[in-house]
Amino acid sequence: YTGSPEILDGRVKTLHPKVHGGLLAARGNAKHESEMKEHGIRGIDLVIVNLYPFAQAVAKGGDFATCIENIDIGGPAMIRASAKNNASVAVVTSPAQYGELIQQMSGNGNCTTLAFRR
């Protein structure tokens, strides 16, 4: 979708205007919608992020290099972008939330409620 490959040994994957623009664009804002169209950005309504296990890497006594590679950059950025645009974007950050997400979508025409998104 972005046309950009993962680079730098996977350190850069989701940090792209098409991803973050799709998360942050205010739905119903004519300027945002025009810019999305101009740049080929599609709105993103649902984000499921499983962060790198940094705390576990440290707790297991991982060496410095292993711990550094388990610092997630793109995941937290997507979570924050989704939270900023919670009127339109739902974010799930744990497999423990999957059941509630499925229940939400099953009972709301494949959508989530504002209460769930907040």
Confidence of residue 3 (pLDDT cuts 50, 70, 90): confident
Identify the pLDDT of residue 28. Answer: 94
> Which one, of 1, 38, 44, lies nearest residue 25 by Cα?
44
pLDDT in tens, 17-60: 999 999 999 999 999 999 999 999 999 999 999 998 889 989 99
Task: Quote the tokens at residue 88.
Answer: 């339109």
Confidence of residue 9 (pLDDT cuts 50, 70, 90): confident
Domains of the chain: 45-117 (3.40.50.1380)
Q: What predicted TM-score, i.e. pTM, was given to this entire model?
A: 0.85
Q: Taking 90 as the threshold, does the pLDDT of residue 14 lie above it? A: no
